Amino acid sequence: MAACVILKVKKLQREKRLDAIVDRNLHKNYNMDEVEMMIQVALLCTQGSPEDRPAMSEVVRMLEGEGLAERWEEWQHVEVTRRQEYERLQRRFDWGEDSIYNQDAVELSGGR
């Protein structure tokens, strides 16, 4: 479940639709730059590999405005590469209509 939420947030972030994440009851009483910063930090903290996640001291610095841009740019590069690799593998194993697994029965030649 959590992985689905993370993927949805990543998609909204790529589409620049972070306002869809914010509680509608706030009636636009929030700073979108701060929302974007918090979402970026949160996404950095949800990386699959623990050694790729920032330490809490780094999280605090990023929330204070230090080092987030550099860390985010680095992560974006890794994410693009990871997404391209996933799509490449998906195409490789995507069986098309001409796959041996999808072919109709073929009439064999008569007896010999």
Q: What is the structure's pLDDT at 105?
A: 53
Domain assignment of residue 104, yes or no = no
pLDDT in tens, 24-68: 888 778 888 999 999 999 999 998 889 989 999 999 999 998 999
CB 61 within 8 A of CB 67: yes
- Our count of domains for the chain comes to 1
Domain assignment of residue 70, yes or no = yes
Domain assignment of residue 98, yes or no = no
- Which structural domain, as residue segments, surrounds residue 35? 2-90
Domain assignment of residue 50, yes or no = yes
Domain assignment of residue 96, yes or no = no
pLDDT in tens, 4-21: 888 888 888 889 898 888
Domain assignment of residue 23, yes or no = yes
Domain assignment of residue 66, yes or no = yes
